[in-house]
């Protein structure tokens, strides 16, 4: 019962675990909605109530047998809960929400529970790129995944940004060659379902404008400015983004000293990349001064060295 719960019940913990294994984001105990649903699916108008069979009067369940001692008290209490539950479901459906009630006795079989939750969540669901990547990573825990696979799953060119969001905003431990020596450039691996605590990332328009002006409206990696041609797509122009030098997931903050301007091309390929060393910056500066023919020659050498196998 919402009125007496001080911590998660075992049935609710089991339901949350099943949803996590599906790679679906959710919120718990949303007080702004009728009945304060135990679980609300992110980005979807879907609410889940996890009810104890006794307290919520699960009809036909052996757990719902009412004590004969002081029967009027128990009848009033439990019947009141039943009426409140029905009212909450009606109010949610009235404002366009789908509702699933999971009873305590229905959490014994984890496989059956997971299947039921998946069907409810995916019914009429249009998954975005981030949702698709989350589901793919969580169904391939411990497996090395390539950029080719992840680009295909996401279905968009900026799949790298969605991966960073999974790491920085949801706390998924997605590793790359920067984190593990056994991984090649362009390879990713989700080590476990454990999600690290994350810090909310909010950059105000005022702070954004201040960082843009401070950095001269140019990318701090390649020097590109707004309107320059995207090196990965000649039909597009680069856009400028505010980037965290030390990622949020690694303890970075929104302090001005930790913010810089990157173009969309550099920002897209930055996942898990630390700020370049002084040596690297010097080399990049020298390469930019070379004729294009020599730049291309260097590019081909590096491409051959780091190209991943499909």
Residue 200 maps to a domain: no
Mean pLDDT of 54-72: 91
Domain shared by 15 and 117, yes or no: yes
The last residue of a domain, from among 122, 139, 154: 122
Q: How confident is the model at residue 269 (pLDDT cuts 50, 70, 90)?
A: low
Residue 5 maps to a domain: no
Domain shared by 167 and 75, yes or no: no
Domain shared by 86 and 16, yes or no: yes
CATH of the domain at 263: 1.10.30
The last residue of a domain, from among 162, 195, 228: 195
Domain shared by 154 and 114, yes or no: no
Domain shared by 133 and 117, yes or no: no
Domain shared by 156 and 171, yes or no: yes
Residue 3, pLDDT > 80, answer: no
Q: How confident is the model at residue 119 (pLDDT cuts 50, 70, 90)?
A: confident
Q: How many whole angstroms separate alpha carbon 203 and alpha carbon 200? A: 10
Mean pLDDT of 198-208: 66
Q: How many whole angstroms separate alpha carbon 305 and alpha carbon 301? A: 6
Residue 250 maps to a domain: yes
pLDDT recorded at residue 4: 46
Domain shared by 117 and 43, yes or no: yes
Q: How far is the CA of 63 from the CAs of 4, 51, 66, 85, in angstroms?
A: 19, 12, 9, 18
Domain shared by 45 and 148, yes or no: no
Mean pLDDT of 163-190: 86
Domain shared by 93 and 140, yes or no: no
Q: How many whole angstroms separate alpha carbon 51 and alpha carbon 119? A: 19
pLDDT recorded at residue 278: 58
Judge contact between 215 and 206, C-beta under 8 A: no
Residue 221 maps to a domain: yes
Q: What is the 3-state secondary structure (H, E, C) of the chain?
A: CCCCCCCCCHHHHHHHHHHHHCCCCEEECCCCCCCCCCEEECCCCEEEEEECCCCCCCCCCHHHCCCCCCHHHHHHHHHHHHHHHHHHHHHHHHCCCEEEEEEHHHHCCHHHHHHHHHHHHHCCCCCCHHHHHHHHHHCCCCCCEEHHHHHHHHCCCCHHHHHHHHHHCCCEEEECCCCCCCCCCCEEEEEEEEECCCCCCCCCHHHHHHHHHHCCCCCCCCCCCCCCEECCEEEEECCEEEEECCCHHHCCCCCHHHEEEEEHHHHHCCCCCCCCCHHHHHHHHHHHHCCHHHHHHHHHHHHHHHCCCC
Parallel/antiparallel/unpaired status of strands 172-175 and 229-230: unpaired
Angle between helices 129-138 and 159-168 (to 10 degrees): 60
Q: Which residues contact 130 (CB under 8 A, 6 or more apart)?
A: 162, 165, 166
pLDDT recorded at residue 199: 47
Domain shared by 155 and 63, yes or no: no
pTM of structure? 0.43
pLDDT tens digits for range 276-302:
555 666 677 678 778 888 888 888 888
pLDDT recorded at residue 2: 45
Mean pLDDT of 119-144: 82
Q: How many whole angstroms separate alpha carbon 62 and alpha carbon 188? A: 49
Residue 3 maps to a domain: no
Judge contact between 205 and 186, C-beta under 8 A: no
Mean pLDDT of the chain: 82
Count of domains forming the chain: 3
CATH of the domain at 40: 3.40.960.10
Tokens of 124: 């009429």
Tokens of 273: 């990349």
Residue 223 maps to a domain: yes
The last residue of a domain, from among 98, 122, 146: 122
Domain that holds residue 249: 205-306
Q: How many whole angstroms separate alpha carbon 99 and alpha carbon 38? A: 11
Q: How confident is the model at residue 236 (pLDDT cuts 50, 70, 90)?
A: low
Q: Which residues contact 232 (CB under 8 A, 6 or more apart)?
A: 157, 265, 268
Q: How far is the CA of 310 from the CAs of 107, 146, 147, 164, 305, in angstroms?
A: 41, 8, 9, 22, 15
Domain shared by 160 and 141, yes or no: yes
Sign of CA pseudo-dihedral 205, 206, 208, 212: positive
Residue 1 maps to a domain: no
Domain shared by 147 and 222, yes or no: no
Residue 2 maps to a domain: no
Q: How confident is the model at residue 308 (pLDDT cuts 50, 70, 90)?
A: low
pLDDT recorded at residue 1: 44
Mean pLDDT of 211-239: 79
Q: Which residues pair with 243 in a beta bridge?
A: 260
CATH of the domain at 155: 1.10.10
Parallel/antiparallel/unpaired status of strands 46-51 and 98-103: parallel
């Amino acid at each position: 019962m919402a009125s007496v719960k001080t911590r998660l019940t075992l049935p609710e913990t089991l339901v949350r675990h099943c949803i996590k294994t599906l790679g679906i984001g959710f919120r718990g105990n949303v007080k702004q909605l009728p009945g304060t649903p135990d679980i609300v699916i992110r980005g979807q108008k879907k609410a889940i109530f996890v009810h104890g069979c006794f307290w919520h009067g699960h009809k036909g369940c052996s757990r719902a047998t009412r004590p004969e001692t002081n029967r009027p008290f128990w009848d009033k209490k439990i019947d009141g809960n039943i009426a409140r539950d029905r009212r909450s479901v009606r109010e949610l459906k009235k404002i366009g929400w789908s509702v699933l009630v999971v009873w305590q006795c229905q959490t014994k079989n984890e496989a059956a529970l997971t299947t039921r939750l998946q069907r409810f969540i995916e019914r009429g669901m249009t998954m975005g790129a981030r949702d698709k990547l989350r589901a793919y990573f969580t169904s391939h825990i411990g497996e090395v995944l390539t950029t080719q696979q992840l680009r295909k799953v996401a279905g968009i060119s900026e799949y790298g940004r969605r991966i960073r969001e999974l790491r920085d905003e949801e706390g998924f431990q997605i590793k790359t060659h920067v984190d593990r020596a056994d991984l090649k450039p362009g390879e990713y691996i989700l080590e476990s379902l454990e999600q690290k605590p994350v810090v909310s990332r909010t950059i105000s328009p005022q702070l954004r404008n201040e960082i843009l002006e401070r950095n001269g409206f140019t990318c701090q990696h390649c020097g590109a400015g707004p309107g320059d041609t995207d090196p990965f797509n000649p039909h597009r122009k680069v856009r400028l983004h505010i980037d965290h030098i030390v990622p949020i997931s690694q303890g970075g903050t929104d302090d001005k000293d930790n913010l810089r301007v990157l173009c969309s091309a550099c920002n897209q390929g930055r996942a898990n990349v630390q700020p370049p060393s002084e040596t690297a910056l010097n080399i990049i500066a020298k390469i930019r001064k070379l004729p294009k023919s020599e730049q291309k020659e260097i590019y081909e050498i590096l491409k051959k060295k780091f190209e991943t196998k499909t």
